[in-house]
Structure 1
């Protein structure tokens, strides 16, 4: 019998539903869990000794899986632990640390194929790490400054041949007054550089603007490259396509050999099997790497282009490639 695939994801994640459906269609045994179910709806019993690596079971009211049988893990943004009501704040924080170290530790120790392993994802999410690795792997990157010093921003602007942009270093989403808001890439004007109050409050990422004919979302899965060209139909989308999805059009495209080779090296260096990378393609056809998200969205790009991303993910989880 084929080894089961362990799915660790939020219970309401629709793209993960499609991965599970494709695994089911191929007759692969699946155990799906959300860390938000622990400890109330998910139980763990794991053992290790001198003779055997981790064995034991993950148990829900519907299914049981023996951890030593797991052949692959698909890990995609599971929820936070939920504990029984009545705990004090300190008790709940203590319980969360124990759950993370216990359940998270046992799962992280599973010696199988991970798409992706959370420790690799945690490191790969740092944009400074991504840029350093991309450069080392032969990919073209924009000149970048990370600082909280206004004078450094002005000096960078003077040294840069053309406009500069400011963008979030980490998650671009904030919650303010119970409202979800996104922070998009901003092209800095001369007036912005005259008044940089607030820069000192935290780190900011600034980059040289890269002239673009279009952008590419390059989905890397297990050594395969699935590329979609994204064409902006508005000024806002031209600056940051995430700000105006309604103005975008898509088409599949090919990846230059040198970019593909560089991305293979980058994926190996970052120990990722899945990654959603963004590139700018200039009027001269030059590809410039912007970033890679080890847990990036892929469902919408598959819907617009027909790229077989869910099939590629399942191929990688099952070794069918």
Structure 2
């Protein structure tokens, strides 16, 4: 009998629905939970002693799962803990810290197949770490500067042939005036370099601009690699394709052998089995690594190309 798969994701994450459907269609028992359900709709009982590792159960009103039987965990951006009304701010912060250390700690200790383990994801999400590992693994990367010093930006611009781009070091999404906003990659003009006010307020990432034929979203799931060319149909998308999804067209492609080998080394070094990597392909056909997101979106690529990514995730969770 196959072991249950624990799925930890936001309740409204519909790409995760596809993975759950794929697993249940194979006859795999799935226990899906969102950390936002803890502690009001999800309970934890965890026990450990000298003779046994962590055992106990996760339970909702409808279902339970035996922690000692969990064979694999699919972890994908669950929600924040939700506590009962009436707690003060300090009480909620204390309770959240206890929940992270208690529920999060027990789950993190499970000796199961992870896609991906949250501690590995936390390290892998750092762009400076990704670039350093990518370079060491043999991937071609653009010259990059992270700084909050305007003079360092000008020195970098003088040393790099061609334009620079600026993009966020972390998530490009923010909420302002109750609206979700995104900060996109932008190519800097001479006027931008002449006026760098505000650079000193936080860390900024600058890179050399790489001329592109197109870009590639490379979705890596275990031993599987799904490469999709992303062709921009507007000037905005040419700078950052996320700014104009409507103009994009896609085509499946193959991964050069040296890039595939380097990506396998990178995934191993980062201790992740799933990653959504972005590459620029320049006019000569060379692939340039930009980043890899250990929790990156994949469903729209599957829909546009027909690549069986959900099935590959299920394979990885089953260890097949």
Is 1:194 the counterpart of 2:194 in the alignment? yes
Mapped partners of 1:288, 1:136: distance in 2: 14
1:144-293 to 2 correspondence within 5 Å?
Answer: 144-293=144-293
TM (norm. structure 2) is: 1.00
1:15-54 to 2 correspondence within 5 Å?
Answer: 15-54=15-54
Structure 1 consecutive aligned stretches of length 4 or more whose deviation exceeds 2 Å: none
1:175-204 CA distance string (max 9 Å, x none):
111111100011000011111010000000
Which structure 2 segments of 5+ residues have no match? none
Mapped partners of 2:10, 2:56: distance in 1: 23
Mapped partners of 1:114, 1:259: distance in 2: 24
Which structure 1 segments of 5+ residues have no match? none
Question: RMSD value over aligned CA atoms?
Answer: 0.5
Is 1:304 the counterpart of 2:309 in the alignment? no
Alpha-carbon distance, 1:117 to partner: 0.2
Show the counterpart of 2:295.
295
Show the counterpart of 1:129.
129
Mapped partners of 1:176, 1:17: distance in 2: 29
SS in 1 for 2:16: helix
Residue-pair matches, total: 320
1:42-71 CA distance string (max 9 Å, x none):
000000000000000000111110001000
Alpha-carbon distance, 1:224 to partner: 1.3
Mapped partners of 1:197, 1:213: distance in 2: 33
Mapped partners of 2:165, 2:92: distance in 1: 41
1:269-316 CA distance string (max 9 Å, x none):
000000000000000000000000000000000000001000000000
Show the counterpart of 1:315.
315
Show the counterpart of 1:116.
116
Mapped partners of 1:298, 1:314: distance in 2: 14
